[in-house]
Structure 1
């Protein structure tokens, strides 16, 4: 005899409510066809015979529904004999008489010749589902992150630092340049707001040019420029001809850096 456990997960008002119904499949089918005015909506389950793992045993279902106003996700667990399955279905909100989409139907467990109470099977399925989520969260990524200390490092004696930051948001761009001496004392700073969205790389490069001009105006001799764009640093290290606008600005930066006895961009 087919039996199913249906849980309606509601996220209404930040809470989670579940309604469990455990009964023979035939009674469940007839009940759902009559529940047209229930708060969860109208759900019709249609029988479909399907061969499973090479066997002609088992019965799967095809569901259709009107939009669930209070249940965006429905979890369904069913079993035939000693084999149990679970599935998550979600209503498609584009049509009134829409079909519930099965997000997954997985063979969860096989109870070899042992009959268990439906609620016990439900708890086992929930436990397996939680274990699967925990495994995904604890799984190490393919490219592990290497921990690295990030902090402000005081420059050597006689070396000044220029910190450059760029922010782009809501079709606006902001440039920030701060100059410090070797004692971390702020010498000067400049902020520029542009009323349009700019390319982050070009904006970072423009901010670097502004920082170089500020350092030149203060007659700095040894300077370290700190930026957040690795692309600019890599392009400055490569002395190749580049006919693009970005390459032209890179060439301009190199020429301006030559005005210092020691200059580094990192």
Structure 2
């Protein structure tokens, strides 16, 4: 629909739909119904007010949106990006650990037999914590993921009385191993290297962990983040 209508017609169409829906609700719950001409007049007025508002005020959504990308952690922090993906009826995960300068401390990938995407993301979170402990990282740590459901489960873990909820609680208990730790949601464009590692495990289907000797394509992606 948006490909057919121009920029002026589309707001008129949407406001007409909204007023029609509102009129239906008024009829259903209040027993009141407007004539079609009245609905159109309301929609046209609302659309005009919307255009005037956009001319007077700054738009809520910028017409020149900035491209979000990975950001270096604060001084003294380590940032760990992780992700999970479906690979040939199995779930694989990818993780990369970088310091305050964007220097890669470690990265890797592995397959795990799990039963759901939810469990796969939880497993990736667990493995990220294990990797941080294996590297003897005990200072401030930021765990980045583009899975908002996992972040919400950590934030509201008391309400998730499930097996996954129990595993997430164990993950947050492991935060005591660090000076401070937090799980943060980031846009997918900020998690590109972890996504690439997941993609590679889907296409190459083997487990590996790297330190300084990571593959060239991962190196190029890391450099794009750092520049």
Q: Map 1:55-204 to 2 at 5 A.
A: 134-135=4-5, 139=10, 147=65, 149-194=67-112, 198-204=115-121
Q: What corresponds to 1:217 in structure 2?
A: 134
Shift of 1:248: 0.6
Shift of 1:160: 0.5
Taking the aligned partners of 2:2 and 2:155, their CA distance within structure 1 comes to 47
Taking the aligned partners of 1:150 and 1:259, their CA distance within structure 2 comes to 31
Q: What corresponds to 2:195 in structure 1?
A: none
Q: Which runs of 5+ in 2 are unaligned?
A: 15-59, 185-227
Q: Which runs of 5+ in 1 are unaligned?
A: 1-130
Taking the aligned partners of 1:150 and 1:203, their CA distance within structure 2 comes to 25
Aligned with 1:209: secondary structure? helix
1:257 to 147, 151, 175: 175
TM-score by length of 1: 0.44
Contact 1:168 1:197 (8 Å CA) reproduced: no
RMSD: 3.0
Taking the aligned partners of 2:100 and 2:2, their CA distance within structure 1 comes to 53
Taking the aligned partners of 2:3 and 2:154, their CA distance within structure 1 comes to 45
Contact 1:204 1:227 (8 Å CA) reproduced: no
Aligned with 1:135: secondary structure? coil
Q: Which has the higher strand share?
A: 1
Aligned with 1:139: secondary structure? helix
With over 3 angstroms needed to count, the CA separation of the structure-2 counterparts of 1:145 and 1:166, relative to structure 1, is farther
TM-score by length of 2: 0.51
Taking the aligned partners of 1:165 and 1:237, their CA distance within structure 2 comes to 18
Shift of 1:186: 0.7
Shift of 1:226: 0.6
Contact 2:153 2:160 (8 Å CA) reproduced: no
Higher relative contact order, chain-length normalized (CA < 8 Å, sep 6+): 2
With over 3 angstroms needed to count, the CA separation of the structure-2 counterparts of 1:200 and 1:159, relative to structure 1, is same
With over 3 angstroms needed to count, the CA separation of the structure-2 counterparts of 1:182 and 1:245, relative to structure 1, is same
Q: What corresponds to 1:247 in structure 2?
A: 165
Aligned pairs, number: 134
Contact 2:129 2:174 (8 Å CA) reproduced: yes
- The structure with the larger Rg is 1
Aligned with 2:151: secondary structure? helix
